[in-house]
Structure 1
Amino acid sequence: MQLEHATEADFPAIINLVNAAYRGKGAVESWNIESGIIEGTRLTDSLLREDLAGKPHAHFLITRDPNSGAVIGTVWLEPVDDQAWYLGLFTVDPAIQNQQLGRTLLTAAEEFAKARGARSIRMGVLSVRDTLIAWYERRGYSRTGGTEPFPYDDDRFGKPLRENLVFAILEKHL
């Protein structure tokens, strides 16, 4: 799978893809949307630009459909320290899920980070998303026992519909 850095020209497609995959705002609903957990927009143009500007060492990568050139997957990779990288905004086009594209994209992201010195990948997944956590566990990720609070005071990521949201920290040694 070919990964490339996202460009400004890709932003509209990326934003539509992320919102469809996380919040079900698209023609086809993803198997892992945050329905009943968080509502509203997951990503906007201004939030994407802010994140990219604020984290210049991060890599926001995309993969494209080899025939149409459309953006069909995204992944954010960011060095946390000398050996650990953070993975976020992992997205696959809901219209083509269940074709093992997510597995392939995750492997490509891990290889990208490993080639740049990563010895482990960490991520935060909402602890109530048991099905998604199980998917990552089948790919070698484990719960670290750590959590991070959900940013209830920051409405840029949508409106939480529950009071008990925390991110479970998962990690995989590469």
Structure 2
Amino acid sequence: MVAVTNRAYRTAEGQTAWKVETIVGGQRIDEGLLREDLSRPGAILLLARERGGAPVGHVRLDAGDDGVWSLSMLTVRPERQDGGFGRRLLEAAEAWVVARGARRMRMMVVGQRTELIAWYGRRGYAATGERRPFPYGDARFGAPARDDLYFEVLDKPL
């Protein structure tokens, strides 16, 4: 999962430009950070597999207060992108949290990734107007290529 996530988020080779975080280099996640994230109460990782069992994608979900869940790290193997798999994985994640009482889904997207924000917008997510700082200085999240990065908070009623 770590290798697939880093490839999908940070390696432009073989991918459409808008799908890669070219404004951040280095890793997206490492094993220690993934273990730390998933050890938090309410955190889960949904894994999607091909019929033969090979992982194709995954998404991290975190239960929140008052039926508001967080979605992060939506990942699809680059060679399986452009076939609607990311959309289906997002829909499956939404259905999974709704079955557990979710009323809303929230996420953070690097604000400068306007095409990705538009992709989520076509799936019902809207900017809340809230921005959160990028974790500059924490190499676990990669090496930013710019000094103006921030996260845009998106929200969708379910």
TM-score, with structure 2 as normaliser: 0.95
1:50, CA displacement in angstroms? 1.5
For residue 146 of structure 1, give the secondary structure of its aligned residue in structure 2.
strand
Deviations for 1:146-169, whole angstroms, at most 9, x for unmatched residues?
111001021111011111111000
AA matched with 2:114: D
Deviations for 1:9-41, whole angstroms, at most 9, x for unmatched residues?
xxxxx011101110017x733541111x10001
1:82, CA displacement in angstroms? 2.2
Deviations for 1:111-139, whole angstroms, at most 9, x for unmatched residues?
00111111000000000001100000000
Structure 2 CA distance for aligned equivalents of residues 43 and 145 of structure 1: 26
What is the Cα-based RMSD across aligned positions, in Å? 1.3
The alignment status of 1:143 with 2:130, answered yes or no, reads no
Structure 1 CA distance for aligned equivalents of residues 16 and 2 of structure 2: 15
Distance 1:41 1:56, change over 3 A: same
Kindly indicate whether the alpha-carbon contact (under 8 Å) linking 2:42 and 2:64 is maintained by their aligned counterparts in 1. Answer: no
The alignment status of 1:52 with 2:38, answered yes or no, reads yes
Structure 2 CA distance for aligned equivalents of residues 162 and 120 of structure 1: 32
Identity between Structure 1 and Structure 2 (%): 46
In structure 2, the gaps of 5 or more residues are: none
Q: Could you list the structure 1 runs, at least 4 aligned residues long, displaced by more than 4 angstroms after superposition.
A: none
Kindly indicate whether the alpha-carbon contact (under 8 Å) linking 1:40 and 1:159 is maintained by their aligned counterparts in 2. Answer: yes
Kindly indicate whether the alpha-carbon contact (under 8 Å) linking 1:22 and 1:34 is maintained by their aligned counterparts in 2. Answer: yes
AA matched with 1:40: G
Structure 1 CA distance for aligned equivalents of residues 41 and 64 of structure 2: 12
AA matched with 1:151: P
TM-score, with structure 1 as normaliser: 0.86
Out of 46, 57, 81, the residue aligned to residue 97 of structure 1 is: 81
